[in-house]
Structure 1
Amino acid sequence: MADIPRLNGVIKTLEEGKIAFASFTPVDVESAIAMASSSLDGTVFEMEHAPLDFPGLRQALQYMLDRREIVSRGTLAPKVTPMVRIPPSGGEMNQWIAKQV
């Protein structure tokens, strides 16, 4: 079986024994565009202390991908790995949020 490359750049960086750098980001298109072109390994979209905006998250995640970069690098892995911080799961009352994200 061919070696499947990691889509999560943060895990890949940690597996290589390097330090991974990430930043917290608000859920909006402008922030997603800025993060997508940064030199960070990952970004964490903040939804724990902000309103739950699933349509906004969907739109922001779409702007994390640059089609030109995908073609030139030959991989679907984004340059900066997006992650989402959701409210804590207290007694499994918020499990539905994890399922949505």
Structure 2
Amino acid sequence: MNGAESLVKTLLDSGVEVCFTNPGTSEMHFVAALDHVPGMRSVLALQEGVATGAADGYWRMARKPASTLLHLGPGLANGLSNLHKAKKAGSGVVNIIGEHAATH
């Protein structure tokens, strides 16, 4: 088990069963883990604001926490307004972003 698979397992153990994703290249290990760890449903969003809005809406409708996977930098920035709204509403959203390797 690698770190990405461990993170997916931890999310599942915490009751998170869905991940709304708009990943970039630095999140590929986590994307692969979404396929390898059973129980996590991955939903591709074509824009980061859609992913964060969907995660917030999922909490508000199903009362179950959701996660998002966004690319670092501008990807996170594109999703911040909906993450702010989710925080103000007390929604259960776990946001995950990647990081470039130190050698990048």
TM over 0.5: no
* Structure-1-length-normalised TM-score: 0.43
More strand as a share of residues: 2
* Structure-2-length-normalised TM-score: 0.42
Structure (1 or 2) with the larger CA radius of gyration:
1
More helix as a share of residues: 2
